Amino acid sequence: MAAGVNPDQALAELIDVSAQIEGAAILDAEGAVLASIGGVGDGAAALLRAADEAARLLGRPAVAQCEVGLGDRLVFAVREGDRAAVAVTGAEATAGLVFYDLRQALRGEAA
């Protein structure tokens, strides 16, 4: 996330520009929730921990992005620098657009 960008403001802008996103969170490098909308903060942190553990067991670096299907919902996560953004959408969301919107939110440019 760009220096000086408020995580709460970045999420509010993200929700405003992306009708597909139902809830989202921004996490710091240690997985602490910096901001959350829609009650997804703790689940977002748990998802990234699990994904990173799987990567470690496979001898790979930390996860840069992932998509997880949960029945009628999808969860997307992206990591950039020392921040991560996670979003929950409906099952028909366009993955590329959600990943793009999450990256823009981390850069403080959700538009």
Q: For residue 19, tell me if it sits in a domain.
A: yes
Question: pLDDT value at position 49?
Answer: 93
Q: What is the pLDDT of residues 31-55, one digit of tens each?
A: 999 999 999 999 999 999 999 999 9
Domain count, the chain: 1
**CA quadruple 76, 29, 64, 93: dihedral, nearest 10:** 10
Question: pLDDT value at position 110?
Answer: 47
Q: For residue 24, tell me if it sits in a domain.
A: yes
Is the pLDDT confidence value at 24 over 90? Answer: yes
Quote the domain boundaries for residue 55: 7-107
Question: pLDDT value at position 108?
Answer: 81
- Around Cβ 25, how many Cβ atoms within 10 Å? 27
Q: For residue 76, tell me if it sits in a domain.
A: yes
Q: Report d(CA 24, CA 14) in Å as an integer.
A: 8
Q: For residue 1, tell me if it sits in a domain.
A: no
Q: For residue 2, tell me if it sits in a domain.
A: no
Question: pLDDT value at position 94?
Answer: 95
